[in-house]
Amino acid sequence: MSKTIQVRVDDVLKSNADNLFASLGLDTSTAIRMFLTISIENGGIPFEVKLPDNSLLQARNDVLNRKNLSKPYNNAMDAINAMLED
C-alpha cells in the first residue's frame, strides 16, 4: 500500500525542480522518494542544515537594500583584481 504526500511549492520552484530532475532522467516524485529513502538510511537529512552566519545575512541585506555595494567594473579581471587587493 502506498500513501500520497502533497506539498505546496512556488510554481517557479516546481518548474525548476522538474527540469533539473528530468535532465537527470528522473521525475520529481522519484527524486522525492530518493530523498526520503536516503534520509532514512542516514538517520537524518542527507546534507548539512544550518543557519547562515551573520556576515552572509549582512551581505544579503546589503544587496537587498542596495547598500555597501562595490563599484561597477569594466570586465571580470578588474573585479578579480579588486577582490585580491582586499
What CA–CA distance (Å, rounded) separates 66 from 64? Answer: 6
Dihedral of CA atoms 55, 59, 65, 69 in degrees, nearest 10, equals 130
Domain for residue 27, yes or no? no
pLDDT at 49: 86
Confidence of residue 86 (pLDDT cuts 50, 70, 90): low
> What is the tens place of the pLDDT at every residue in 3-26?
999 999 999 999 999 999 999 999
Q: Can you give the pTM of this predicted structure?
A: 0.58
Q: Give the residue numbers spanning the domain of 78.
A: 54-85
In 3D space, the residue among 77, 78, 60, 81 whose CA is nearest the CA of residue 69 turns out to be 60
pLDDT for the residue 82? 81
Q: Domains in the chain: how many in total?
A: 1
27-83: pLDDT as tens digits: 999 999 999 999 999 999 999 988 777 888 888 888 888 787 777 788 888 888 888
Would 33 be classed as within a structural domain? no
In a domain, 47, yes or no: no
